[in-house]
Amino acid sequence: MKNLTFILTFLLITLSSQAQHEYSKKYYSPTDPLVVQKLEDWQDLKFGLLMHWGPYSQWGVVESWSICSEDEGWCKRPEEDYTGYKKKYEGLQNTFNPTQFDPSKWAKAAAGAGMKYVVFTTKHHDGFCMFNTKYTDYKITDPKTPFSKNPKANIAKEVFNAFRAEGLWAGAYFSKPDWHCPYYWWPNFATPDRNVNYNIARYPKRWEDFVQYTHNQIMELMSDYGKIDILWLDGGWVAKESNQDIRMDELAAKARKLQPGLLVVDRAVEGPNQNYLTPENKVPKEMLSYPWESCIIMGGGWSYEFNAKYKSGRELVHLLVDIVAKGGNLLLNIAPSPQGTWDAEAYQRLEDMGKWVKVNQEAIYGTRKIAPFNDGPVYYTKKKDGSALYIIYCLKEGEKMPAEFMAAGIETGKKPDVDILGYKGKVSYVKTDKGILLKVPKTMQKESNLPYALVFRVR
């Protein structure tokens, strides 16, 4: 019977953790007025940057998961002694020395692309801290880490300061599970899976030590790293519902006392501490009724991959348009190299996106979804004050605009003005019972080198 209970509990936890890659059907709206306003402001931003980075970048392997004893496709490791492998993995701390780290260069490129906030991995599941915590020596600033001697050794602080200097919000990614902490993976027992490896009911003091360890580290981030706008918590299996209670209500309240209005994103855990939802590496098929953000890989994996293949600029712009039209935000992941650099392709893609966003930004920022959000290559957004409607025609490479196209299901005023962002002159149209039939200027019908998408503004 005990074995059956363990199996059922494991399945429940696994399914719960997988749910973070989907999106919940139930949403709990915040009640704190500061959080309500912050969430509204966040929904105006639309476009952010996510970065997974740590000593694992030296091997070009997936972050953390190769030390987890689960036979999953994303965490394969060499067929060798597990204990020896884990020791070598943790030994990467001793060689991690990203001497080319220059967050100001990243921040300028992100701002140039139109990104409005950053979410940086202060700690992933493996427990290595990219900030100067006093609660573990498994960190970037420990003397065992070569980079600790660098003036920029407190990487998280450097990242947050650089991005705030460019006008972006600062978000701290933090893993609730910690596979290096002896209060989570107790060396007294084997580690069969991602979960705490001892019976919490039997060892409540050890679990309480872990709860305090987690709270203490998050309070460090909330106290010593300037203004933090988002606390982005990963590892949804660490939750009260899975009998791994870290007292999230208490934690969120303490964090907001230090950072009023803080958005808390307790991924995969339905409840008041998941201020917005985060479908992972996918985009919902339809509009959602609650605030959400798709975190998407730009190229390679979440962590750095050698010779990574990147999405094209066209693909990324169309991705942004699709997400915004459905009412969400795009959090685009770029993984730094072991030297502390981005691949040249990452900079190029941000430049590609920035050129398009600069011209068409009013159809992206401060907008909200409108039904129908999409019809074939055509997407719709609107200003939240109702002052303008945007019809976005996404073009394939080399595609020419048709002579006319129907914006189906769209209602406008009696005699709206229609133009194209970035182009002079008005656009003629015919209002019909099906929508508005837009007449494309002849000069644009002939061009085969048009931008990734054309935005028709209706006022």
Return the percentage of the chain with pLDDT > 90, whole number. Answer: 89
User: Are both 337 and 381 inside the same structural domain?
Assistant: no
Same structural domain, 57 and 143:
yes
pLDDT tens track for 91-104: 999 999 999 999 99
User: Of the residues 363, 395, 411, which one is the last residue of a structural domain?
Assistant: 363
pLDDT per residue as tens digits for the range 220-237: 999 999 999 999 999 999
Q: Within 13 A of 183's CA, how many CA atoms are on the CB side?
A: 16
Report helix angle 248-258 to 204-224, nearest 10. Answer: 20
Query: How much of the chain exceeds pLDDT 70, in percent?
Result: 95
Q: Name the CA radius of gyration of the chain, rounded.
A: 24
pLDDT at 279: 96
The total number of structural domains in the chain stands at 2
Query: For residue 417, which amino acid is it?
Result: D
pLDDT in tens, 148-200: 999 999 999 999 999 999 999 999 999 999 999 999 999 999 999 999 999 99
Of 413, 403, 409, give the one whose Cα is nearest residue 439. Answer: 403
Residue 260: predicted pLDDT: 98
This prediction has a pTM of 0.94
Same structural domain, 165 and 281: yes
> H/E element holding 319?
helix 313-325
> What Cα–Cα distance (Å) separates residue 255 from each residue in 120, 134, 216, 277, 389?
17, 18, 10, 19, 38
Q: What is the pLDDT of residue 257?
A: 98
DSSP reduced 3-state for 296: strand
- The residue behind tokens 């059907």 is 25
Instruction: Report which of 374, 400, 226 is spatially closest to residue 287, judged by C-alpha positions.
Output: 374
CATH number at residue 426: 2.60.40.1180
Q: Given this model, what pLDDT does residue 79 score?
A: 80
Look at residue 25 in the predicted model and tell me its pLDDT: 63
Mean per-residue pLDDT over the chain, rounded: 94
- Spatial distance between the Cα atoms of 63 and 53, rounded to a whole number of angstroms: 8
Q: DSSP state, 447?
A: -
Do 394 and 358 share a structural domain? no
Are 343 and 401 part of one and the same domain?
no
**Element at 265 (helix H, strand E):** strand 263-266
Task: Report the half-sphere exposure of 382 (CA within 13 A, side-chain side).
Answer: 16
pLDDT value at position 23? Answer: 56
Are 47 and 169 in a shared domain? yes
Q: Are residues 416 and 343 in the same domain?
A: no
* Cα–Cα distance for residue pair 326/289, rounded to 1 Å: 9
pLDDT at 39: 98
End-to-end CA gap in the chain: 67
Which tokens in the block code for residue 157? 């602080």
Q: Which residues pair with 123 in a beta bridge?
A: 129, 174
End-of-domain residue from the set 363, 381, 416: 363
DSSP, residue by residue, 214-237: HHHHHHHHHHHSS---EEEEE-TT
Q: What is the DSSP string of 149-217?
A: GSTT--HHHHHHHHHHHTT-EEEEEEESS-SS-TTTS-TTS---SSS-SS-TTT-HHHHHHHHHHHHHH
User: How many Å apart are CA 42 and CA 403, to the nearest integer?
Assistant: 38
Q: Which residues pair with 129 in a beta bridge?
A: 123, 139
Query: Are 379 and 267 in a shared domain?
Result: no
Task: Specify the higher pLDDT residue, 8 or 86.
Answer: 86
Task: Note down the domain range covering 377.
Answer: 370-458
Tell me which of 322, 347, 363 is where a domain ends.
363
Number of helices (H), then strands (E), in the chain: 10, 16
Task: Report the CATH number that the domain containing residue 61 is assigned in CATH.
Answer: 3.20.20.80
Whether residue 296 is found in the same domain as residue 378? no
- Strands 47-51, 117-123: parallel, antiparallel or unpaired by DSSP? parallel
Q: Dihedral sign, CA of 38, 42, 48, 54?
A: positive
Residues comprising the chain, all counted:
459
Are 186 and 163 part of one and the same domain?
yes
- Rounded average pLDDT over 361-382: 96
Q: How far apart are CA 37 and CA 174, in angstroms?
A: 23
Whether residue 268 is found in the same domain as residue 374: no
Residue with tokens 């706008």: 229
